[in-house]
Amino acid sequence: MHVDLRSDTVTQPTAGMREAMMRAPVGDDVYGEDPSVAALQTEVAQILGKEAALFVPSGSMANQIAMQLLVGRGEELLAEADAHVVANEVGAAAAIGGISTRTWPSDKGRLDPAIVDQYIRRRVGYHTVATRAVAVENTHNRGGGTVILPPELNRLRDIADEAGVALHLDGARIWNAHVASGVPLAELVAPFDTVSVCLSKGLGAPVGSVVASTAERVELATMLRKRMGGGMRQAGMLAAAGSYALTHHMGLLAHDHARASRLAQALEPYGVTDAGSVSTNIVQLRVPDSAEFVREAKVDGVLVSAMDAGTVRVVTHLDVDDEQMDHAVAVMSKLLA
């Protein structure tokens, strides 16, 4: 049996999704003439409670466009130390946006607004530039799928208002935060000036992310997307996959969460994970040698990824069912015993 738990990006488009892609009316979206892209953008803006939204090829491009909207060249963005925007986008903030970044430490990606408050630079000094924006990741990927809830998010908004800085949300997995917590999407993203969301993670679309903000910022974002080479022509076939996923796949995330939780509970007795900290679709395992664990699990058909020398990441998704999970639990239990 083959079970790929490396990431929620490995999913295949479902039959219904392929149908929707085939049927999608399309046009040249660089001219703003693709009805399926327009429909997706309107839909995402509406469910996030933002004025407008823009379809882009990847989550990294969505984040980088949003950060360029909020932070000028040579100005500063703050982010958590393991945040995707600073740790996993190949230096794009600096290389493309000219953005200086500084990071704060966290416990598993949890947000402590008081710490962020201490890191914000309110005045330009002889040696420093002013902080223009703070980026937050929800759920937090490298933290282990950590969900951040409105009390912390709203407290951060108050601090940002007092300091005059903007807030960006890397909401690649905001859908998971919403499904796990029951908090409406619009409430989770309300404190943020810009939001990026991924359609190609747990939702299972083959390609695509969306940036949402004010209509004015989204107009500027359209220019930045073109500048970065992200203007797409008959992209409606891809957008249709995203619309399909929002309607048909969002609710299925609850199954991913249940399966991740079951795995964590089964492996907790081996002292490798804390099942109570698993609330979405990511499980982290502390093992003596992650590369060796990955290699041995693969021999039995279970693919997982090594995050660092002693941490393995297991991610549940649309293409893993209960039977495959049983196999994965059995294989990993055997390795840990």
- Say whether residue 103 binds ligand PLP (CB under 6 A): no
Q: Which is nearer to ligand PLP, 201 or 259 (CB)?
A: 201
Three-state SS string over 101-161 comes to EEEECCCCCCCCHHHHHHHCCCCCCCCCCCEEEEEEECCECCCCCECCCHHHHHHHHHHHH
**Total of residues contacting ligand PLP (CB under 6 A):** 12
- Say whether residue 256 binds ligand PLP (CB under 6 A): no
Segment interacting with ligand PLP (CB under 6 A) among 53-61, 185-193, 215-223, 283-291 = 53-61
* 90-128 residues labelled b (16+ CB within 10 A) or e (exposed): eebbeebbebbbbbbebeebbbbbeebbeebbeeeeeee
- Say whether residue 170 binds ligand PLP (CB under 6 A): yes
- Say whether residue 172 binds ligand PLP (CB under 6 A): yes
Segment interacting with ligand PLP (CB under 6 A) among 52-60, 66-74, 254-262, 285-293 = 52-60
What is the β-pairing status of strands 209-213 and 100-104? unpaired
- Say whether residue 147 binds ligand PLP (CB under 6 A): no
Angle CA(223)–CA(195)–CA(81) in degrees, nearest 5? Answer: 110
Q: Are 231 and 34 in contact (CB under 8 A)?
A: no
Beta pairing partners, 212 = 53, 195
Distances (CA, A) of 253 to 195, 257, 317, 324: 20, 6, 8, 16
Q: Which of residues 262-321 bind ligand PLP (CB under 6 A)?
A: none
- Say whether residue 59 binds ligand PLP (CB under 6 A): yes
**Residue 22 C-beta-side C-alpha neighbours within 13 Å:** 7
- Say whether residue 156 binds ligand PLP (CB under 6 A): no
- Say whether residue 58 binds ligand PLP (CB under 6 A): yes
Q: Which residue is nearest to ligand PLP (CB)?
A: 59
CB of 22 to ligand PLP, least distance (A): 24
Tokens of 43: 């839909």
CB of 42 to ligand PLP, least distance (A): 22
- Say whether residue 137 binds ligand PLP (CB under 6 A): yes
CB of 138 to ligand PLP, least distance (A): 9
CB of 162 to ligand PLP, least distance (A): 27
Peptide bond into 101 cis (omega under 30): no
| Interacting residues with ligand PLP (CB under 6 A) | 58-60, 63, 84, 137, 141, 170, 172, 198, 201, 209
